[in-house]
Amino acid sequence: MLAYTPFLDPLDLHTAWWLTLVPLALGISVVYKAVRVKDFKGYWGQVVMMTVQIILGIIAISAGLFLLTEVFIPLVES
């Protein structure tokens, strides 16, 4: 391979996809709060709080889907 082309040759992150969760949540929080906040006093505290909320929300959704597919659906099938 002569050169790395980002869109044609994506990184192989299938085993460590969850490492991208924190930067993605932080980026979403920074942009959203920059657009929505009226006063920038306490801006970074709000960004950190929203980042934590996003991460905990994704963890809760994934735990719920795990319980649904691995526990509850097999109980209903049998």
Residue 55 has pLDDT above 80, yes or no: yes
The count of structural domains within the chain is 1
Main-chain dihedrals φ then ψ at residue 58, nearest 5 degrees: -65, -40
What pLDDT score does 1 carry? 56
51 touches 29 (CB < 8 A): yes
Average pLDDT over the chain reads 92
Residue 35, domain member (yes or no): no
Residue 75 placed within a domain: yes
Give the range of the structural domain holding residue 58, as residue numbers without chain letter. Answer: 43-78
Q: Which residue's structure tokens are 């049998």? A: 78
The type of residue at 30 is V
76 falls within a domain: yes
53 lies in a domain? yes
Residue 63: predicted pLDDT: 97
Tokens of 63: 């735990």
Q: Rounded distance, CA 25 to CA 15, Å?
A: 19
Can you read off the two tokens belonging to residue 67?
A: 């319980």
| pLDDT at residue 22, as a whole number | 95
**73 lies in some domain:** yes
Q: Is residue 4 part of a domain?
A: no
